[in-house]
Amino acid sequence: MEISETYVALGKTDVMVSRIGLGAWAWGDRLFWSYGRGYDIEDVRAVFKLSLEEGINWVDTAESYGSGQSERLLGGFNADSYLPVVIATKFMPFPWRLGKGTFRKALRRSLDRLRLHSLDLYQIHWPLPPISVETWADALADAVQAKLVRAVGVSNYNEQQMRAANAVLAKRGVPLASNQVLFNLLDRKIERNGLLKACQELNIGLIAYSPISQGVLTGKYTPDRPIPGVRGRRYPRAYLARVQPLVQRMREIGQQHDGKTPAQVAINWLICKGVLPIPGAKNARQAQENAGALGWRLSDDEVADLELKADQV
């Protein structure tokens, strides 16, 4: 992936994206993110508008987010917007989806909800059985051939699965644009298991989801103020206690960059790694803060320092 401060090509495709994208899982999702309690359609509309104005030109959603509600909201906002947006969504290979026919139907439904004739990026959400990653890769190539999709990606694929999908697509003359996986300061598995290296070798864009660890890396959640609801179960109090020294170091480093916040430092660390973070935001204030991760860089020493602290969590 070419590194520049403004827009980069997604893998070997001509889809140009800003160094940060916008995650839209929380739009319309009541179960995990509590949509409707504390934030609503007007808040996420403001997130969309503000992010675009700040130079973020792409949004990541999925057919499964809010059971289609995230795609519907995004489709509406996009229709009302004068700024061009790169739209990425995902197909979920539910175990009852047993062939390419189900794939085509799901793609049509996503296009309808998004009010589009073609997608910029269509991703396979998870490498779930029983259908092989090769079959879904072939379906992705069909979608490109039918001009329903500009570029194709995968998500949550390990190195072997990604290489298998890449090989099928290559035979059809279609580049694998991206692999979207969990990557943040608190979860650096892909640096150790070879996936990040394989993406660099094959020029496949790495999209980093949960870049601020679902709010944990903002520093606002502590053992005394734990995360509420279903999400809280993932991050128990003892874990939040262990994270605090890292957050403190992020604050100190942020201070050396005109008072950048821990969230901005967390996102910037990913930019320094050459990957594409897609932070989610529930309101304009959060979106504004996250956009402030653009336009500056941590030094190599700060990156190393943060990793040392993160290893101690």
Ligand X SMILES: NC(=O)c1ccc[n+]([C@@H]2O[C@H](COP(=O)([O-])OP(=O)(O)OC[C@H]3O[C@@H](n4cnc5c(N)ncnc54)[C@H](OP(=O)(O)O)[C@@H]3O)[C@@H](O)[C@H]2O)c1
* Chain residues in the site for ligand X (CB under 6 A): 23-26, 33, 60, 125, 155-156, 180, 209-215, 218, 220, 263, 278-282, 286, 289-290
CB of 173 to ligand X, least distance (A): 26
As measured in angstroms, the least distance from the Cβ of 118 to ligand X is 20
Distance CA 292, CA 275 (A): 17
Across the strands, what pairs with 153? 123, 178
In the complex, least distance from residue 28 CB atom to ligand X, rounded to whole angstroms: 11
Measure the CA–CA gap between 148 and 122, rounded to whole angstroms: 9
Q: How far apart are CA 89 and CA 44, in angstroms?
A: 17
For the record, the structure tokens of 14 come out as 């001509």
Q: Which residue has the tokens 């874990």?
A: 239
* Residue from 190, 243, 241, 239 nearest 218 by CA: 243
The residue from 65, 157, 221, 235 that is catalytic is: 65
Q: Which is nearer to ligand X, 11 or 211 (CB)?
A: 211
First CA to last CA distance, the chain:
30
Rounded to 5°, the CA angle 214-217-220 comes to: 90
Q: Provide the minimum distance between the beta carbon of 209 and ligand X in the complex, in angstroms, as a whole number.
A: 3
Whether 29 and 70 have beta carbons less than 8 Å apart is answered as: yes
Is residue 65 part of the annotated active site? The answer reads yes
Q: Pick the closer one to ligand X by CB: 38 or 245.
A: 38
For ligand X, give the closer residue by CB, 128 or 300.
Answer: 128
Decide whether 104 or 231 has the Cβ nearer to ligand X: 231
Other beta carbons less than 10 A from residue 37's beta carbon? 10
Catalytic residues: 65
